[in-house]
Chain A
């Protein structure tokens, strides 16, 4: 992994960082690189309520906020920002205003690397809208001031259209932190995490590869 000065992670939902990026985050914080995580919503409209359900539509944001803080602690993130947008509505915000908000955070944090979703290839409309706002904000900066942007993509057509990921981080050294971060989002991951731990114990090669390697596409402006 390239040495960074400061990493800014921008995602719309608590737990967006967990599966594909938490190992990368933990690797950075472990080596002393500060990480700022800006999370747009509290996942208010999530469908996972625990089974049997322990969350309600109204208690879910409070529960997920706590889970997000727990995950941030596990990953050594000491600058966690919750931006107060509402789940499932990010794409309906004014695009220029949203991009300006992202721009103001970038300007303040001055990251050398931003991690966000690849607009158009991130499945959930909030993911695409979040990624698009970050890309627009960076595009609006003078070329020589722009940080690198590593995007997460996972739509079924992404490799066909944007090719293979050009950055693959091996995070096996911090796999335990990654699993702990995933588990911190109890309401969303309780079933999946149990299954995953079992597969890891059995050294299921497909699961090991998925957990140990995090893939990113460098955005080309």
Chain B
């Protein structure tokens, strides 16, 4: 992965717009967060291979970045995006890594199921 280049990511978001795409969306602070710090409230969610279509998508912010995908009946949103990659299958992988490099959020788009 490399640090987000906003123009490149925007181009990729445009490429997937208005067609059926599979989404992986995830936030996580890890299963150990409350083990190491009992005052820490552990939470997270992920959805893998949700099939949807968005009208347009946008990446904004000064870094870490925010990404929003506008659908005809709703939104997909991710905050804290720091890195991106278009992998060898043409999938757009967006990820946010925290200060120690651990994954905190990911949003991925693909024309095929992950």
Contacts and interface: CB of A to CB of B under 8 A. Distances in A.
A156 B102 contact: no
Given A53-B95, A57-B24, A123 B101 contact: no
Contact of A56 (B31, B38, B46, B95): B95
A51 B87 contact: no
B28 A47 contact: yes
Interface in A54-94: 54, 56-59, 88
Closest 7 CB pairs of A and B: A51-B101, A47-B102, A124-B31, A47-B103, A123-B35, A56-B93, A57-B106
Interface in A19-61: 45-54, 56-59
Contacts, number: 61
Contacts of B114: 58
A56 B85 contact: yes
Of A53, A59, A156, the most chain B CB neighbours within 10 A belong to A53
Interface residues of A, number: 22
B61 interface: no
Interface in B60-106: 83, 85, 87, 91, 93, 95, 97, 100-104, 106
Nearest to B35: A123
A155 interface: yes
A125 interface: yes
B93 A53 contact: no
Interface of B: 1, 24, 26, 28, 30-32, 35, 38, 46, 83, 85, 87, 91, 93, 95, 97, 100-104, 106, 108, 114
A125 B34 CA distance: 12
A124 B32 contact: yes
Contacts of A47: 28, 30, 102-104
Nearest to A126: B31
B103 A57 contact: yes
Contacts of B24: 57
Given A56-B1, A56-B95, A57-B24, A49 B31 contact: no
Contacts of A57: 24, 26, 93, 95, 103, 106, 108
B87 A56 contact: yes
A108 B35 CA distance: 36
Contacts of B106: 57
Contacts of B26: 45, 57
A156 B35 CA distance: 7
Of B28, B103, B108, the most chain A CB neighbours within 10 A belong to B103
